[in-house]
Structure 1
Amino acid sequence: MSAPSCDDPHRPGALDIDSAHRRIAAAIEPIEAIERVGLRAALGRVLAEDLHAPLNIPPDTNAAMDGYALRGADLDADGAASLRMVGTAWAGHPLERTIGAGECARIMTGAPVPAGADTVVMQERTTADGDTITIRGGEAGSNVRAAGEDLPAGGVALTAGTAIRPAELGVIASLGLTEVAVRRRPRVALFATGDELYEPGQELKPGGLYDSNRYTVWGMLTRLGMEIDDRGHLPDDRAAVEASLLAAAAENDAIVTTGGVSVGEADHVAVVLREHGDVGFWQLTMKPGRPLNFGFFGRALMFGLPGNPVSAMVTFYQFVQPALRALSGAGYRRTPTLRARTAADFPKKPGRTEFQRARLVIADDGTTDVEPVGPQGSGRLSSMSRADCFVVLPADSEGVGAGEWVDVQPFEGLV
């Protein structure tokens, strides 16, 4: 990993966003350790090996809707026929009878299609008179789901490196599996730095602040499925910072700190990382979140996040989140963006990529609009709770006016 260079664009020692992503992605080696876990415990984990289907999914050719199973050859050119019903096929209770010429069977959604039949006509296109069923508007081969059309027996159902979401959990269950092999979850040490920090519930002394960063970062780590080693506060003492980081690096896969990463006399995290670690970069051309330390401390991946609350959250979402997913074995993937129309002005000065807090709204014409949530100061944590997305403005942008289209990163994805 190369150290920051004076040739980095915009500012000596500072990296642009794309370069930072490339450096992080190139530096991470996924955890190789494997565990076997039960089906429900697999949610949020990353598959360690390919899963092959031991059977066809669905196992049998079945009906896609309620109606009548019949032979497509019995329909005339207009899709009509008059047939004799010879039985009923229920989901879980197949009809053990072959459908012959001029015959049909009542069938329910999901029931196996009886032998001899190859078509299901929905009940809305039929009329029953006793056992005589009149078909109108049928279509040969319709409304039938073939055995194995979702997953054929022996085929790869899920590949190694797949993050297990609810859909994947359902796929695994459909294969009849009760446990799977997954990558071990990364163990992440978490620190907040600063003598001014107090725990919620403590008496706040003059000049003190309640620690919010450790709780927001803990929340983001938890939602990523990390195993968290919360080590509390680091004082503004170089020796204590050094000892704590060395101990954390020996027991964890990654370390995330907040505060102490700039150039002040009490910013010991940056100093200790440069002296004992392998520094990838320490400053970015972004706002908020210019001071961001990335590297390795011992064997542990290290992120020193800024102390300003919004800066800590922005840098976590942009860099720590994809890095920890890659460490988990799910690959390095940047936060996706969508396009939205601005409902108001988003002012900006050129020079740094900005991630402005905003809120998505649906306009009267059905388009997705985005509106600001107020002042963008990096200490205004409450603005993050009012926002549901970032508007991403490139480094050379001089801001955008109302009615323009911009890139937007939603905070929440489908789960």
Structure 2
Amino acid sequence: MPSLQSVISCLSDYDPSALPVAKANAIIGDVIEPVGGIEQLAIRTALDRVLAEDVISSIDVPAHDNSAMDGYAFSSAALADAGSDVVLQVIGTAYAGNALGSPAGPGQAVRIMTGAVMPDGCDTVVPQEFVEIQAGGNQIRFAADAVRAGDNRRLRGEDLASGQAALAAGRILQPADIGLLASLGVAEVKVRRRLRVAFFSTGDELRSIGEVLDPGCVYDSNRYTLHGMLRRLNVDLIDMGVVRDDPEALEAAFRSACENADAIITSGGVSVGEADYTKQIMAQLGDVTFWKIAMRPGRPMAFGRITSNGREALLFGLPGNPVAVMVTFYHFVRAALHRLMGAKVAPLPLMRVRSAGTIRKKPGRTEYQRGILAPGADGTLEVRVTGQQGSGVLRSMSEANCFIVLAHEQGTVEAGESVEIMLFDGLI
């Protein structure tokens, strides 16, 4: 991997005291390369794993032209030859998995079931509900305009042709992908090994659930939100608890995390200009930079690599405020971990909706306000803020169903104007 300092040295407009969100993400992306290590798994156990190589179809799917519904198969030439109605003689029945041996000639049709192989001489299927059965089931009649040539026929290989890439390397396997692999007869796939991610909170004021809450102390919520967000990424977790503001304890925690994980996430102790042991130990152990991101919430952040006993791990030092932890995770760490695990994932999509009220903002930073998306009085989707937007108000995330994304150069949004939002569905 390239060093962080070498990447930064190539940027003429780099300013760690006022770094735009897009620039910070670009630096992180330039530094990270996927980890090595590949496993071969049965497809039943490969859900949510990252595919390590392309899967190439060895067969045509479907293997034959077949019927898309129950009905009657016939040659479309009968449509051109007919007047207002088509009359055909029924010569047999084709069932799925049991093809009709004899071909259908002019003026003939075959009763056919969904998925059955199209009989020779047939290229069109008329649904059974369009058909009038005559002559004790030996003849059918239907309107000539009920179907067009080729209707209701699935072509051989229209889903996948033999030799075609079915799934690309870097894909995070979803339930439909597992079914697709099964349809190709693939029993096992090669996937990248799981990432190992260590995380801990720092601060003498923090207490874990179950401990006595002394005066001036608070329960540590950040580890629990980090745990939940990381679980969504299907990584192996190393929860290292709360680490006190003590140089020896912090160094031991960082070294242990580095020797056992691919990435480390901390919360607290990274404010630029703050005399803090966490910040000192980070800088001491590796190639780390400390940023003031031009964003709200989540301004202070550390990023880089640390080393211990020959092992190296990525480091993300997040702010201590609960909302800032979640915002920086979703807008920096999530994409970085996907890249580290070799996953090719599109950026989280944005959509534009109407703002229900005025949202005040100054240009010069990106803001992620928490919003509630719902239909307005006229039925049009609109978004409103959840109330207090302070970085310590975790309730604002719990009540919200989206981020209201206010771009770097954007100013105040008036009621009725459109704004960009990022939905929480599938994210939080």
Task: Work out whether residues 42 and 189 of structure 2, in 8 Å CA contact, stay in contact via their aligned partners in 1.
Answer: yes
The one-letter code of the counterpart of 1:16 is P
The one-letter code of the counterpart of 1:98 is P
1:8-27 alignment, distance < 5 Å? 13-27=17-31
Q: Give the alignment's Cα RMSD to 1 decimal.
A: 2.2
State the partner residue of 2:373. 360
How many residue pairs get aligned? The number is: 414
Q: CA deviation at 1:113?
A: 1.4
State the partner residue of 1:329. 342
Q: Secondary structure at the match of 1:81?
A: strand
Residues 244-276 of structure 1, C-alpha deviation per residue, up to 9 Å, x if partnerless? 101211221100111111147673222211222
Q: CA deviation at 1:283?
A: 2.0
Candidates 389, 398, 406, aligned match of 1:393:
406
Alpha-carbon distance in 2 for matches of 1:84, 1:12: 81
Alpha-carbon distance in 2 for matches of 1:169, 1:267: 48
1:151-300 alignment, distance < 5 Å? 151-263=160-272, 267-298=276-307, 299-300=312-313
Alpha-carbon distance in 2 for matches of 1:121, 1:208: 74
Q: CA deviation at 1:348?
A: 1.6
Q: CA deviation at 1:277?
A: 1.4
State the partner residue of 2:59. 55
CA 1:385–1:414: 2 relative to 1, 3 Å: closer
CA 1:324–1:241: 2 relative to 1, 3 Å: same
Residues 50-103 of structure 1, C-alpha deviation per residue, up to 9 Å, x if partnerless? 111111111221111221111111223557421111222233333333222221
The one-letter code of the counterpart of 1:319 is F
Candidates 129, 132, 135, aligned match of 2:139:
132
Q: CA deviation at 1:166?
A: 2.1
Q: CA deviation at 1:295?
A: 0.7
Q: Identify unmatched segments of 5+ residues in structure 2.
A: none
Candidates 2, 5, 18, aligned match of 1:2:
5
Q: Secondary structure at the match of 1:24?
A: helix
1:306-325 alignment, distance < 5 Å? 306-325=319-338
Q: CA deviation at 1:369?
A: 1.6
State the partner residue of 2:415. 402
Candidates 28, 46, 53, aligned match of 2:50:
46
Q: Secondary structure at the match of 2:5?
A: coil
State the partner residue of 1:30. 34
State the partner residue of 2:359. 346
The one-letter code of the counterpart of 2:35 is I
Alpha-carbon distance in 1 for matches of 2:227, 2:70: 49
Q: Secondary structure at the match of 2:301?
A: strand
State the partner residue of 1:95. 100
State the partner residue of 1:411. 424
Task: Work out whether residues 16 and 291 of structure 2, in 8 Å CA contact, stay in contact via their aligned partners in 1.
Answer: no
Task: Work out whether residues 373 and 384 of structure 2, in 8 Å CA contact, stay in contact via their aligned partners in 1.
Answer: yes
Q: Secondary structure at the match of 1:274?
A: helix
Alpha-carbon distance in 1 for matches of 2:363, 2:150: 61
Q: CA deviation at 1:307?
A: 0.7
Residues 286-338 of structure 1, C-alpha deviation per residue, up to 9 Å, x if partnerless? 10000111111122111011110000000000000000001111136432211
State the partner residue of 1:142. 151
Task: Work out whether residues 204 and 210 of structure 1, in 8 Å CA contact, stay in contact via their aligned partners in 2.
Answer: yes
Task: Work out whether residues 16 and 290 of structure 2, in 8 Å CA contact, stay in contact via their aligned partners in 1.
Answer: no
Alpha-carbon distance in 2 for matches of 1:230, 1:175: 40
Q: CA deviation at 1:357?
A: 0.3
Q: CA deviation at 1:280?
A: 4.1
Alpha-carbon distance in 2 for matches of 1:207, 1:414: 33
State the partner residue of 2:111. 106
Alpha-carbon distance in 2 for matches of 1:267, 1:406: 38
Candidates 304, 319, 329, aligned match of 2:317:
304
Candidates 59, 71, 77, aligned match of 2:75:
71
CA 1:116–1:191: 2 relative to 1, 3 Å: same
Q: CA deviation at 1:406?
A: 1.2
Task: Work out whether residues 269 and 304 of structure 1, in 8 Å CA contact, stay in contact via their aligned partners in 2.
Answer: no
Task: Work out whether residues 194 and 234 of structure 2, in 8 Å CA contact, stay in contact via their aligned partners in 1.
Answer: yes
Q: Greater shift after overlay, 271-280 or 227-236? A: 271-280
CA 1:277–1:125: 2 relative to 1, 3 Å: same
Residues 16-73 of structure 1, C-alpha deviation per residue, up to 9 Å, x if partnerless? 1111011011001101210011112211111111111111111221111221111111
Alpha-carbon distance in 2 for matches of 1:384, 1:202: 25
CA 1:280–1:92: 2 relative to 1, 3 Å: farther
Alpha-carbon distance in 1 for matches of 2:392, 2:427: 29
Q: Secondary structure at the match of 2:389?
A: coil
CA 1:266–1:166: 2 relative to 1, 3 Å: farther
The one-letter code of the counterpart of 1:392 is V
Q: CA deviation at 1:365?
A: 4.8
Alpha-carbon distance in 2 for matches of 1:101, 1:396: 70
Q: Secondary structure at the match of 2:254?
A: helix
The one-letter code of the counterpart of 1:388 is N
Alpha-carbon distance in 2 for matches of 1:164, 1:199: 35
Q: CA deviation at 1:122?
A: 1.6
Q: Secondary structure at the match of 1:369?
A: strand
The one-letter code of the counterpart of 2:149 is A
Task: Work out whether residues 261 and 268 of structure 1, in 8 Å CA contact, stay in contact via their aligned partners in 2.
Answer: no
The one-letter code of the counterpart of 1:258 is S
State the partner residue of 2:125. 120
Percent identity (aligned): 49
Q: Greater shift after overlay, 357-366 or 387-396? A: 357-366
